[in-house]
Structure 1
Amino acid sequence: MGIQDIIEGKKQWRAHMARVKALPRDYQIVYREMQRYFFKVGPVGLADGSLLSGILDFFEEGVVAGKGVLELIGNDVAAFCDDLVKDSRTYADIYQESISGEPGTAEK
């Protein structure tokens, strides 16, 4: 990864966060909680950016439709997040495999 890639990545992240700031306050709060949750749980594919930008697109559509954020995702934000990454490998899975000593044996 070169300097230009890092600069471009920062530009994309700033544009992404500008879109988040344009959302209504309740959407912003839920988005940030989801973001924090994903950074903690760590789906391995999070780095490609498609998960967070997909959520942002979904939220923007909800705003246009005039729906509240909890109408879209339900009252349990963590359950919604878990459902989004249920088929994805997480860093927690990798950790479980490393301590069990058997690759691919992590339970979900």
Structure 2
Amino acid sequence: MGIHDIIEGKKEWRAHVARVKALPPDYQIVYNEMQKYLFKVGPVDLTEGNLLAGIVDFFEEGVADGKGVLELTGTDVAAFADGLIKDSRTYAEVYQEEINGKSGAAGK
């Protein structure tokens, strides 16, 4: 990864953050909580994919339709986020595999 790629990545991230800040406050709160959750347990390729941008697109459509954020996600926002990553390999799975591998190696 060259310096040009890093600069472009920062520009894209800043544009993404600006889109989030343009959302109504309740949408911003839910988005930020989802982002924290996904960064903790989310897919390994989270930063390479379009998941976060897709969430912002979905939220922008909800705002345009005059819907509240919980009308879109439901009251269990973590379950909604889990549904988005159900077919992706997550950091939680990688961590569990490491634990299982280490305990398996120690037991031999």
Q: What's the TM-score, normalizing by structure 2?
A: 0.90
Structure 1 residues 47 and 91, CA, compared in 2 at 3 Å: closer, same or farther? same
Is contact 2:44-2:90 (8 Å) kept?
Answer: yes
**What one-letter code is carried by the residue in structure 1 that aligns with 2:9?**
G
Q: Gaps (5+ residues) in structure 1?
A: 103-108
**What one-letter code is carried by the residue in structure 2 that aligns with 1:67?**
K
Q: Gaps (5+ residues) in structure 2?
A: 103-108
**2:70 is aligned with 1:70:** yes
Residue of structure 2 equivalent to 1:39? 39
**2:45 is aligned with 1:48:** no
Residue of structure 2 equivalent to 1:85? 85
In structure 2, distance between residues paired with 1:43 and 1:98: 16
CA deviation after TM superposition for structure 1 residue 101, in Å: 2.2
Is contact 2:43-2:91 (8 Å) kept?
Answer: yes
In structure 2, distance between residues paired with 1:49 and 1:17: 16
CA deviation after TM superposition for structure 1 residue 47, in Å: 1.5
Residue of structure 2 equivalent to 1:106? none
In structure 1, distance between residues paired with 2:73 and 2:15: 24
CA deviation after TM superposition for structure 1 residue 48, in Å: 1.1
Alignment map for 1:11-50 (pairs within 5 Å): 11-50=11-50
**What one-letter code is carried by the residue in structure 1 that aligns with 2:75?**
N
Is contact 2:40-2:91 (8 Å) kept?
Answer: no
SS at match of 2:11: helix
**What one-letter code is carried by the residue in structure 1 that aligns with 2:64?**
V
Structure 1 residue ranges, 4+ long, deviating more than 3 angstroms after superposition: none
**What one-letter code is carried by the residue in structure 2 that aligns with 1:46?**
L
Larger radius of gyration: 2
> What do you get for the CA RMSD once the two structures are aligned?
1.2
CA deviation after TM superposition for structure 1 residue 57, in Å: 0.2
